[in-house]
Structure 1
Amino acid sequence: MSEIMTVEPRTKLGKIHNRRLRDEGRLPAILYGHGETPVSLSVSTAQFAAALRHGAKVVDLQGAVKQKALVQSLAWDTFRKNVLHIDFLRVSADEKVSVEIPVDLKGDAPGLNNGGILEHQLHMVEIEVDPAHMPDRLHASVANLQLGGSIYAGDITDLPAGAKLITPADAVLVNCIQPAGEPEPEEAVLGAGEPEVIGKDEEEADSESKAE
């Protein structure tokens, strides 16, 4: 799913101008790809934040340029709270792109009723898909996940038609494991608790010497 995003040209470049731009409620961005000249742009911070909340991977740029684009990468601040810069990659409706998509688990795992817990291994998988059919999220069912079992990337149930799973199909998404229990008591040391005979060796040696 793509969202419409209005962009404006960005003529002043550099850290100082980018900081001023962010203070004005806009984010610096660049559009590149397809062998064309990169274009410096800016987009509303609020509009882009809304697109992120919706899980948008592909956007329809309008305004300074008209182009379908993939959100290729984001630069974040130190605390990963605010986006500082956006890289847009030109895409066309008929080409396939590689992108990471979050995976949600569906259902209740029977293994939980037997004392198991879910151990997540992967939260996202990489797929190759055309922009028109790019999903916001993918899903895998845990309805048959028993204690000691696993769900794999190949178990994803809603991969779009024509899409290809890049992540290995045998990559584990989640395990149902037994929680670590209390350590078992150590076995008693053989012979522990028997009274110690002091001087036994000396007495035996003395008796043997008298008998000779």
Structure 2
Amino acid sequence: MATETNNIAVTTRTEKGKGAARRARAGGQVPAVLYGHGTDPQHLNIPAREFAAILRNHGTNAVLELDIEGTNQLALTKQVDVHPIRNYIEHADLLVIKRGEKVTVEVNIVVEGDAQSGTLVVQDANAIEVEADALSIPEQIVVDVDGKVAGTTIHASDLELPAGVTLISDAETLIVAVNEATAAAEDSGAEAAEGAEAPAEAAE
């Protein structure tokens, strides 16, 4: 559970635009916007190294105790944009929250265990949407497939959620399916054969 806050000192950002954002990143800062609870959006610079460490240790739903030039504000990491090639944080959206408040977030799903021999485990959904106390957001939801047989399906309604956490995603959302490995292999082989036949037909 994300039951602890992460203290981090940030500064207000007066410059806006792509040029200002590039200068901030070059100076080791992440441009961010803080909004919510009817407040005016605040443009901030967050120390990139500290912010990245918090996300590594607490996930993308990390709760931050911001020190905005002497003013404290609790915030939830709402969205993080990462450069697709260079893998650095380009921008972050932060949501103003209050202690005891319920928030809606996406939580990653992790599949653990080994299904029965001769099966293939297919994960259909990587995350689900839940509602939880802002300071008790689960870092992940674990799905145990140990010993599961072919034909087993696990839907969102089957997940074991921590106390106080409510499912928001559709209860019928398919999370994991355990299939027969032989059938899956035959399907893949048939698709490959169809793909190989197409060039031959075109050559004729």
Q: Tell me the TM-score normalized by structure 2.
A: 0.80
1:60 and 2:62 matched? no
1:90 and 2:93 matched? no
Match of 1:163 in 2: 165
Q: Which amino acid aligns with 2:28?
A: G
1:174 and 2:190 matched? no
| Other structure's SS at 1:170 match | coil
Identity of aligned residues (%): 34
Question: Cα 1:80–1:154, aligned 2, differ >3 Å: closer, same or farther?
Answer: farther
CA contact (8 A) 2:82 2:90 kept: yes
Once superposed, what is the RMSD of the aligned Cα atoms? 1.8
CA contact (8 A) 1:109 1:146 kept: yes
Question: Cα 1:106–1:152, aligned 2, differ >3 Å: closer, same or farther?
Answer: same
1:34 and 2:40 matched? no
CA contact (8 A) 1:140 1:155 kept: no
Q: Distance in 1 between matches of 2:113 and 2:41?
A: 45
Q: Distance in 1 between matches of 2:133 and 2:86?
A: 29
Quote the offset at 1:137 in angstroms: 0.9
Quote the offset at 1:177 in angstroms: 1.1
Quote the offset at 1:166 in angstroms: 0.8
| Other structure's SS at 1:32 match | strand
Question: Cα 1:18–1:61, aligned 2, differ >3 Å: closer, same or farther?
Answer: same
Q: Tell me the TM-score normalized by structure 1.
A: 0.77
Quote the offset at 1:56 in angstroms: 4.5
Match of 2:119 in 1: 116
Q: Distance in 2 between matches of 1:66 and 1:160?
A: 29
Q: Which amino acid aligns with 2:65?
A: D
**Matched length:** 179
CA contact (8 A) 2:155 2:173 kept: yes
Question: Cα 1:144–1:151, aligned 2, differ >3 Å: closer, same or farther?
Answer: farther
Q: Distance in 1 between matches of 2:60 and 2:7?
A: 10
CA contact (8 A) 2:78 2:94 kept: yes
CA contact (8 A) 1:96 1:131 kept: yes
1:104 and 2:104 matched? no
Question: Cα 1:13–1:126, aligned 2, differ >3 Å: closer, same or farther?
Answer: same
Q: Which has the larger radius of gyration?
A: 1
Deviations 1:50-92 (A, max 9, x none): 1221214122212424111111122333537222111111011
Q: Larger % of strand: which?
A: 2
